[in-house]
Every structure is written in structure tokens, then in C-alpha cells.
Chain A
Amino acid sequence: MDTENLTIKSASEALRNKDFSAVELTESYLKNIEANDKDVRAYLEVFDDAITSAKEADVSFSKGEYSPLLGIPLAIKDNILIKGHIASAASKMLENYKATYDATVISRLRKEGAVFLGRVNMDEFAMGGSTENSAFGVTKNPHDLSRVSGGSSGGSAAAVAASLALGALGSDTGGSVRQPASYCGVVGFKPTYGTVSRNGLIALGSSLDQIGPLTKTVEDSEIIFDAIKGADKMDSTSLRDPVYSPNGGKVVGVPRGFLRNGVDNEVMENFERTLRSLESSGYTIKEIELPNIKASLAVYYIIMPAEASTNLSRFDGMRYGLHVNGASLIDDYKESRGAGFGEEVRRRILLGTYVLSSGYYDAYYGKATAVRKIITNDFLEAFKRVDLIATPTTPSTAFVIGEKADPLSMYLEDIFTVSSNLTGMPSISIPMGTVPNGGRDLPIGFQFIAPHLHEKSLFEGGKDVEASI
């Protein structure tokens, strides 16, 4: 089976035509994992019940049932709960935690008959951009094993890029689906906030988090999105009755002023070439101003740690997760949290505690909330003139493992992605070719941002980017 060129769409057609069975398809991926994952290290665990699900899918096919995801093998980020399986968020804290229920996205994929191959690596509690913060080792970039896969959904991106799964779920709080997709040369999509239920996703920043697919093509991304989206009474921030806009048009805004500094020359060349090619297929490119976008990363690194410190207070070593015995009850808490959380998680919790503490709240959290609104207004204003906004997904290609030891230099990789989480707008990263780096050709992503609920424009635009490469 030619898994390298298989997509969800083409595999599904082959299954329907009985070119191969769902069991054969899943077996092929399990074989790929066995042969190649010892190098890439995308998976934290391969499920022994994957074949059972594939058998059930074959039974459904034999009854004439069909869904675009029936029998399709997927990898799931380790912060999304699958009942009965461990969900560790790549943390020592939850190393032995068994999910007691299915996340809403999982129950929806189950209903479609998708096969879960296993859980894939990530930065601990989704905090990071390289999976170097995983408590269980780093996931390598399949295009160059000395480099990171990106993060936090690095395992998801690497699994799809190395054909260790046909598609994957990740979560995106500041770029955690799009950035690893850019580094690994796959499509990563962050939907409009509220379109996909967060029920059963281990929370990082609840006003920013959104689950999204990583796939080989834009079409595949759309297939997974269609399966997982929709209102959910278990997530009160899920939109009750979203009205999606039809394809909005072909005027693309480029914030050139913002892109002027900090983007690698070769990345910028690829980006400009992609824009020209879009132009020749009927798009209009306009220069736009986003006056306050420079502050978006700063706003993000106040709001996210604030929400994270609150969300992670639930891990007390009592009801679930790691327990370390101390001299008193309060020492139990401190010892358990000290031992269970890794360095970056501790750093962000302390930072969040600081910006929320009385005396600093107004200057940091209060101000950040106000500036978040100002940035959102900048985008809404820009979208009066254009249908889509384009940037490179990341300023550079995947970096070498261990290269970014200073936390701030790692944070800067999120510079183009965080604004969509602050505004809640959907965005997608599509491979725009490769850039030579360190003797290898490394992939890099093109990012489209659309107004709320304009996913259709993103998918159509994304397909045109694919066609232009």
C-alpha cells in the first residue's frame, strides 16, 4: 500500500471500492509505526484496540454503511481524552491518568467510524513549540531528524508527515496546530473559537484553546472539521447555532509592515512567490495595516499563563494524577505539583500567578484584556477591505533540537499565529514548498486568516495555495 501518497479522501474511496479493507489499511499504518517511529518518536502509545475498531469498520462497510472517516486511522494528541486510555498531556503529573470519558471530538469521530491508532507526543500541557518540553522525550522532524517537529502538537504533525497516521487531532492555543504543521510540511487548521467543543480537552488557556486537524491536504482537514464541529452542551463556549459564511472572495491582505523584520529571507521569498502565483490565478493582493499586531505576542504571554495557572490549579495530587507524600496536606500539594510539573509549566504557572496577583493585575492582565480587544478590532477593520489575510506561518523553518534554550526565543516562533487565538478567528497553514537549511530542504507554511465563521474561504483559499505549489 502506498501510504506516502494516500490521503483521507483517497483512502476512503479505496475502502468504498474494496481496493483494500479497513483492517489492511490500519495494519499498514501500524507497520509504518513499527518501522519508523523509533526514529521519529511521534507516538507515546499505540493502542492495541486499533485493529478491533478497523474490524468494526469493515463490518459497517459490508452492511453498506459509509462515512468519509469510516475505517480511517488517526493519531490523537495526548491531551484529548479517550475513555479507558491514558491521557497524560505529556506530563509526569498525568503519566498514569486514565480518561474516565470520551472527549466530545472523540465521541463524534467514533460515531463516524474512525480508527484511533494511538496517542501522540506534545509539549507538556501544550506549553511549547517543539515537544522538547514533553516529559517523555522529543519528537523529531521527519524531514531532518536533528530538528524539532514543532509544537505543541508536534507528535500529530510528525505522525502525518511520516505517514504514521492518515490524519491527526491537535490543539491550538497560540499556534500549536499551525506551527508544527508548517515545520513538518502538512496542513494544520485552527477553527473559529467555539465551533469545536473543548469538552474532554485538557485545558491550557480556555479562552484561546481550540481543537483542530492536521492532515496531508486541505480537503482532508475539511473532512475532519465537518465531523468534529458543532454545538455541545458540555462546552458552554461552543457556539449554539453558528452560521458559516459562504466563500467570501479573493482579496488577500498582506501586513507587509509587520513582516518586514524577523522573517528569514528564503521564507519571505517563498511567501512572495506563493502570493504572485495566487495573483495569477485570480486573487488580488492588497497591503494592509494591523497597527497593534506587534503587541499580540505580549498580550498572549499574559493571558495564556494567567488562564493556565488557573486551569492547572486542579492538579493537587489528590483526586487524580501524581501524588507525592509531604509532611502536611499543604506540603502534599506543593510536593506533588513540584514533582509533577516540568520546568516550562512551573515557569508559566508562576508567571500567571504574578500577572493575576493584586497590585499587578491591572497593569498586566487587565491591560492585556483591553489590548486583546483593540487587536481584534484592527482585524475586523482590515476585513472590511479584504477577504483573507496572509502571512508566513512561522518566521523560519524547524530549528535544531536544543537550539532555543532561552524561553523568550521559543515564544517568538508564535509571532504570526497567536493573533488568531486572541481574536478567535480561523486560520490554516498550508505547505508552500521548501527552503534549503543545513543541507536539507525543509518545509514551510503559508498562513491564511479569515473572519469568524469564514472557514469556507480558508478551505477554498488553501486549495488554491496547494494548486499553486
Chain B
Amino acid sequence: MITPEEIEKLSELARIKVPESEREKLANDVESILGYVGVISSIVGEEVVEAGEHRNIMREDGEPHKAGMYTDRLVDQLSKQDDNSLVVKKIIEQ
């Protein structure tokens, strides 16, 4: 049973503000979806874990782009910037 308190905990973990008024409905939704997806526990079969066809492909460092080439475009998207730096709130109290 998913409770509104669990929704609150999940929203903390996921860092999403969920108004208290929505928690009850979300709890019901998540509960019913989990009920549906729970059928997988009844599937039995050969559970062979093997490396897939798709592998992570690594490359050597190299081919650096020219310094500053993308800076303006990226800085343009920052929520708050100062001298090409992202400004965020202080997290350490003195």
C-alpha cells in the first residue's frame, strides 16, 4: 500500500515539490500501476545474465575544441550568471 507519506518521501528523493493536495491521488495512481506491473513476479524462465550486443564504447581523449567556442551559447542558458559562471545559493553556513 502506497501512502501519501511515501509519496512525500519519494518526492524528496526525486527533488520534486509535490503539493500536499496531490499526494493522495498520486499515491492511488502509483499503487494501481505497481499492482499492474507486479505480474512480472509470476514470470519464470531462464534468467541468463549476459553481456548485450550494445557495449559502452570508449574513446581516447583528444580533439579538444577551441577554448570558449561554445561558452556564450551555454552561458546564455544559465538561470543566473556572473562573469561566465553559474550563480547558485550558498550551501555552507558560517
Residues of A within 8 A of B (CB): 97-98, 100, 193-194, 233, 236-237, 239-240, 292, 294-295, 297-299, 301-302, 309, 313, 316-321, 323, 328-330, 332-335, 337-339, 341, 346-347, 349-351, 353-354, 357, 363-364, 367-368, 370-371, 373-374, 377, 406-408, 411
Contact B10 A337 (CB under 8 A): no
Known contacts A233-B59, A318-B78, A329-B88; decide if A371 and B13 are in contact (CB<8 Å). Answer: no
- B33-53 contacts to A, CB under 8 A, are 33-34, 36-41, 43, 45-49, 53
Asked whether B79 lies within 8 Å of A374 as measured between CB atoms, the reply is: no
Contacts of A299 in B (CB 8 A): 37, 40
Cβ of A319 and Cβ of B78 under 8 Å apart?
Answer: yes
A337 touches B46 (CB 8 A): no
Q: Which A residues touch B18, using CB under 8 A?
A: 338, 346, 350
Tell me which of B10, B19, B56, B74 has the highest count of chain A C-beta atoms within 10 A of its own C-beta.
Answer: B10
CA distance A95 to B30 in the complex (A): 27
Pairwise interchain contact A347-B77, C-beta atoms closer than 8 A: no
Instruction: Say whether B15 contacts A98, CB under 8 Å.
Output: no
* Interface pairs A-B: 7 shortest CB-CB: A338-B17, A323-B79, A320-B77, A374-B45, A370-B47, A298-B37, A236-B57
Tell me which residues across on chain A come within 8 A of B53, comparing CB atoms: 194
Kindly state the separation between the CA atoms of A371 and B18 in the bound complex, as whole angstroms.
Answer: 32
Contact present for B89 and A309 (CB under 8 Å): no
Interchain CA distance A364-B36 in the complex, whole Å: 12
Would you give the shortest CB distance from A415 to chain B, in whole angstroms?
12
The answer to whether the Cβ of B32 comes within 8 Å of any Cβ in the partner chain is: yes
Task: State in angstroms the CA–CA spacing of A309 and B30 once bound together.
Answer: 14
Taken together as a complex, chains A and B put the C-alpha atoms of A297 and B38 apart, in Å, by 11
Q: CB of B67 within 8 A of chain A?
A: no
Contact B16 A341 (CB under 8 A): yes
Q: A interface, by DSSP: helix, strand, loop or mixed? A: helix
B29 shortest CB reach to chain A, Å: 6
Provide the bound-state CA to CA distance between A240 and B73, in Å: 31
A353 touches B13 (CB 8 A): yes
Question: Do the beta carbons of B77 and A319 come within 8 Å of each other?
Answer: yes
Given that A338-B18, A374-B46 are contacting pairs, would A100 and B77 also be in contact in the complex, using a CB cutoff of 8 Å? yes
Distance A240 CA – B59 CA, assembled complex (angstroms): 13
0 or 1 for each of B5-19: is its CB under 8 Å from A? (1 = yes): 001001101111111
Q: Kindly list chain A residues whose C-beta atoms are within 8 Å of the C-beta of B26.
A: 346-347, 350
Q: CA of A128 to CA of B20 in the docked complex: distance in angstroms?
A: 24
- Number of B interface residues at 8 Å Cβ cutoff, please give it: 47
Q: Are B89 and A298 in contact (CB under 8 A)?
A: no
Q: Is the CB of A347 within 8 A of B30?
A: yes
Task: Using A323-B79, A371-B40, A408-B33 as known contacts, say yes or no to A318 and B88 having CB atoms under 8 A apart.
Answer: yes
A339: chain B residues at CB < 8 Å are: 17
Q: Which residues of B contact A (CB under 8 A)?
A: 2, 7, 10-11, 13-19, 26, 29-30, 32-34, 36-41, 43, 45-49, 53-54, 56-57, 59, 70, 73-74, 76-80, 86, 88-91
Given contacts A236-B57, A318-B79, A371-B43, contact A301 B33 (CB under 8 A): yes
| Contact between A408 and B77, CB atoms less than 8 A apart | no
Between-chain CB contacts (< 8 Å), 11 pairs = A98-B77, A193-B54, A301-B37, A309-B14, A328-B91, A349-B16, A350-B14, A350-B30, A364-B37, A373-B49, A406-B32
Query: Please, which residues of chain B bring their CB within 8 A of the CB of A329?
Result: 88-91
A354 touches B47 (CB 8 A): no
Cα(A408)–Cα(B31), bound, Å: 11
- Picked from B10, B48, B91, the residue with its CB within 8 Å of the CB of A353 is B10
Q: Are A374's CB and B47's CB within 8 A?
A: yes
Closest-CB distance, A307 to chain B (whole angstroms): 14
Instruction: Check if A350 sits within 8 Å of B47, measured CB to CB.
Output: no
Do residues A319 and B30 form an inter-chain contact, with CB atoms below 8 A? no
State the Cβ distance, A253 to closest chain B Cβ, in Å: 20
Q: What B residues does A294 contact at CB under 8 A?
A: 39
Q: Which chain A residues lie closer than 8 Å to B54 at the CB level?
A: 193-194, 237, 239
Report chain A residues within 8 Å CB of B90: 329
CB-CB under 8 A from A236, the residues of chain B are: 56-57
Contact call B73/A298, Cβ cutoff below 8 A: no
Question: Which residue in chain A gives the minimum CB-CB distance to B39?
Answer: A298
Q: How far apart sit A295 and B41, CA to CA, in the bound complex (Å)?
A: 10
Task: Say yes or no: A347-B16 contact (C-beta < 8 A), given A302-B40, A319-B86, A374-B43.
Answer: no
Chain A residue, CB-CB nearest to B27: A350
Which A residues are in CB contact (< 8 Å) with B36? 297-298, 301, 408, 411
**When chains A and B are docked, how far (Å) is the Cα of A346 from the Cα of B13?**
12
Known: A194-B54, A298-B39. A292 touches B45 (CB 8 A): yes
Residues of B within 8 A of A319 (CB): 74, 77-79, 86
Q: Which residue of B lies closest to A360 (CB)?
A: B34
